Every structure is written in C-alpha cells, then in structure tokens.
Amino acid sequence: MTRRKSSGRPKRIRGVKSNMVAAAVELAGGVTAVSKLCGVARQSVYTWIEEWRVERLIDALKLARVSGIPIERLAGDAFKPEGIPAAKSPPLPPEPDDDLE
C-alpha cells in the first residue's frame, strides 16, 4: 500500500506571527500575576492568549504598561488611534467689524 497524495493545498500554520499577548504575559510575570494585576480570573488570561488579543482596553493598557509592549499589539482591532474621531471644537464667535466705527 502506498500513501495517497492529497490534492488540497497545504494548510497555513499560524506560527508565522508571534503571539504578543503570550509574550506580554510572560514579561509581566506570568498568568497569575497578570490576573491579579487586572482583577480577572486566570482563565480569562488564558482566553486572551488563545484569542491573541485582550478584550477590555483597560486590561490591555495595564498589561502594556507592565510588559512594555505597545497596546496596539495587545488590543487588536479594539484599539485603532486613526479610527477614533477627533474631538470637535465649538464654533468660534464672529469677529467684530472695524468698519462700523
């Protein structure tokens, strides 16, 4: 018996990019330390590692500060500075005309 050749394309391995959440957790002292820091269960931290992103921005910010990894790499699509609209300033009052003197 010989091995049958597969006609399908090879599946792409996810290991092309590194998991920045896992790296940040390790730099911060491990899963237990991060769960105490953020006030969440250890299972939540494992979920972040599995999903490759941190759900809540406040937790992503805390993890970013402790680990030194930018928040953009941890929060995924939730944090996009270019997607945040700029604050609108109130309209300026009209300037008085000097010709009315």
Q: What is the pLDDT of residues 82-95, one digit of tens each?
A: 655 555 666 666 77
Q: Would 26 be classed as within a structural domain? A: yes
Q: What is the DSSP string of the chain?
A: --PPPP-SPPPPPGGGS--HHHHHHHHHT-HHHHHHHHT--HHHHHHHHHHTS-SSHHHHHHHHHHH---HHHHHGGG--GGGSPPPPPPPPPPPPPGGG-
In this prediction, residue 18 has a pLDDT band, given cuts at 50, 70 and 90, of confident
How many structural domains comprise the chain? 1
Q: Would 64 be classed as within a structural domain? A: yes
Q: Would 50 be classed as within a structural domain? A: yes
CATH number for the domain including 22?
Answer: 1.10.260
Name the residue with higher pLDDT: 61 or 84: 61
* Domain extent at residue 29: 17-74
In this prediction, residue 75 has a pLDDT band, given cuts at 50, 70 and 90, of confident
Task: Give residue 10's pLDDT.
Answer: 52
- For the cut 60, the answer to whether the pLDDT of residue 1 exceeds it is no
